């Protein structure tokens, strides 16, 4: 019995760090898909009083938090640094000063322990969160990445093969949620608050615009919608009319959801894939999940989305992505630098 235990192959353990925006996160993931720890130190309360992320404060908070967060991730996983197979880190896209904290710490850990270093694209990490929530999921599939900074349609053809079909020309979906919420005096980040408020409102109360809805147009634009909502609120205010905030939230959310659902379904049909994957913070939106689920059923497509804690920024998704880079031998070296505008599929 003891003999057999000794011969059992050691798991591949990835320690990953994520500091691209306002969460300092570290995680240990075994064999790519088994989360041993997932520690997230959120700075949301710090940024809330400014109504959004203040980059300088984010960097400073990452510096304070990163080592305790890494220590906690190792402790909760019941492993030590010497057990780790490789170290993953987000190196873009994101806030440069914030990214640099994670990248510097990961390089130092890699140098000190002589473990390989893996640079991870944050957006690819968001997509890979789905492999943690759905052990059976494999490419190919169509991914809709909807976060605070990005709105992208990506044909994931393999673990290292991504085709970007389209992205937003202006605001990201999450950014639109946050800006509208701010005007409605809801706390930052506003997405979850709009989501909750929308449940009690009428999505057909106000006809807000849907942009770029032409067939097979895979670009997005949310700035017109944002202006329309702001104008609506402003005009009502000037006329002294009372605004039904739940109706505004529901009608705004319906406009975002309609566009996202219609484009991802068209993209899946065009690329002939039968699986759709949601990724990024807005993937937690209940209206989006509900409508997409309905339409996917009609089109005989299977919908995947990560559990809520894996939708927003976390280290486990970065560890999962790093694992697949590790098994295909894609490592970084100590020249790894933060790249704030890193594109999906860019190689390091
Ligand atoms: O992926 P994420 O944590 O950070 C980025 O990489 O940008 O996404 C954060 C975004 C924020 O804009 C937040 O308001 C939005 O995701 N979000 C939501 C919901 N939960 C988070 N938006 C709509 N509905 C939600 N339930
Ligand atoms: Zn993110």
Task: Dig out the tokens for 335 from the structure.
Answer: 């020249």
Task: Look up residue 74 and give its two tokens.
Answer: 């190792």
Q: Give the number of the ligand closest to the Cα of residue 174.
A: 1
pLDDT (tens digit per residue) in 260-269: 999 999 999 9
The model's confidence at residue 215, banded by pLDDT at 50, 70 and 90, is confident
Q: Which atom of ligand 1 is nearest to the CA of 286?
A: 26
Helix axis angle, 173-183 to 191-198, nearest 10°: 70
Task: Return the closest-CA partner of residue 13 out of 334, 322, 331.
Answer: 322
Mean predicted confidence (pLDDT) in 70-75: 98
Domain locations along the chain: 13-127+311-326, 140-308
Per the confidence metrics, is the pTM higher than 0.85? yes
**Could you tell me if residue 176 is left (phi over 0), alpha (psi between -120 and 50 degrees) or otherwise beta?**
alpha
**Å from CA of 60 to ligand 1 middle:** 22
The tens digit of pLDDT for each residue in 167-203 reads 999 999 999 999 999 999 999 999 999 999 999 999 9
How are strands ordered across the β-sheet holding 86-92?
Answer: 34-42, 23-30, 13-18, 86-92, 117-121
According to the model, what pLDDT value does residue 1 have? 46
CB 151 within 8 A of CB 222: yes
Q: Do the Cβ atoms of 70 and 167 come closer than 8 Å?
A: no
The finding on whether 171 has its CB within 6 A of some atom of ligand 1 is: no
Tell which CATH classification among 3.40.50.1110, 3.30.420.40, 3.10.20.30, 3.90.1170.50 matches the domain 13-127+311-326.
Answer: 3.30.420.40
**Whole-number pLDDT of residue 214:** 87
- Residue 277, Cβ neighbours under 10 Å: how many? 29
CATH superfamily of 140-308: ATPase, nucleotide binding domain (3.30.420.40)
Report pLDDT digits (tens) over 308-329.
Answer: 999 999 999 999 999 999 999 9
Shortest-distance Cα residue to atom 3 of ligand 1: 312
Question: Given 3-state DSSP classes, what are the helix, strand and coil percentages for the chain, each rounded to the nearest 5?
Answer: 45, 20, 35
CB of 178 within 6 A of ligand 1: the answer is: yes
pLDDT > 90 in the chain, percent: 90
Nearest CA to ligand 1 atom 13: 191
Ligand 1 and 88: CB distance under 6 A: no
Determine the distance separating the centroid of ligand 1 and the alpha carbon of 191, expressed in angstroms.
6
The ligand with the least distance to the CA atom of 310 is 1
Q: Residue 346 — very low, low, confident or very high, per pLDDT cuts 50/70/90?
A: confident
Mutate which of 186, 191, 279, 305 to test ligand 1's pocket (most atoms within 8 Å of Cβ)? Answer: 191
CA of 259 to the centre of ligand 2 (A): 21
Please give the number of the atom of ligand 1 that sits closest to the Cα of 23: 3
Q: Which ligand is nearest to the CA of 318?
A: 2
């Amino acid at each position: 019995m003891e003999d057999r235990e000794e011969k059992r192959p050691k798991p591949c353990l990835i320690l990953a760090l994520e500091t691209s925006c306002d969460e300092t996160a570290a995680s240990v993931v075994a064999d790519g898909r088994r989360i041993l720890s997932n520690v997230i130190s959120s700075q949301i309360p710090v940024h809330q009083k400014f109504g959004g992320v203040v980059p300088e404060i984010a960097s400073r908070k990452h510096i304070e938090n990163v080592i305790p967060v890494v220590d906690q991730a190792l402790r909760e996983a019941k492993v030590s640094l010497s057990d780790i197979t490789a170290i993953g880190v987000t190196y873009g896209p994101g806030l440069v000063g914030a990214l640099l904290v994670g990248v510097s710490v990961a390089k130092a850990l890699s140098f000190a322990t002589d473990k390989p270093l893996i640079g991870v694209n944050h957006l690819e990490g968001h997509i890979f969160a789905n492999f943690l929530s759905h052990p059976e999921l494999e490419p190919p599939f169509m991914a809709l990445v909807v976060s605070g900074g990005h709105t992208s349609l990506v044909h994931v053809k393999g673990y290292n093969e991504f085709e970007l079909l389209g992205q937003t020309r202006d605001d990201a979906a999450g950014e639109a949620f946050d800006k509208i919420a701010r005007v409605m005096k809801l706390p930052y980040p506003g997405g979850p608050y709009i989501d909750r408020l929308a449940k009690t409102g009428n999505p057909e109360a106000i006809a807000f615009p849907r942009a770029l809805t032409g067939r097979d147009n895979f670009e997005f634009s949310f700035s017109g919608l944002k202006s329309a909502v702001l104008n609506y609120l402003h005009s009502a205010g000037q006329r002294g009319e009372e605004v039904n905030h739940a109706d505004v939230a529901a009608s705004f959310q319906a406009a975002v959801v309609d566009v996202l659902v219609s484009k991802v379904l068209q993209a899946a049909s065009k690329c002939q894939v039968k699986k759709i994957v949601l990724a990024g913070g807005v993937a937690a939106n209940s209206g989006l999940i509900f409508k997409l689920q309905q339409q996917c059923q009609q089109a005989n497509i299977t919908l995947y989305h990560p559990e809520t804690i894996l939708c927003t920024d976390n280290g486990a998704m970065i560890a999962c992505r790093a694992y697949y880079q590790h098994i295909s031998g894609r490592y970084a070296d100590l020249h790894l630098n933060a790249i704030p505008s890193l594109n999906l599929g860019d190689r390091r």
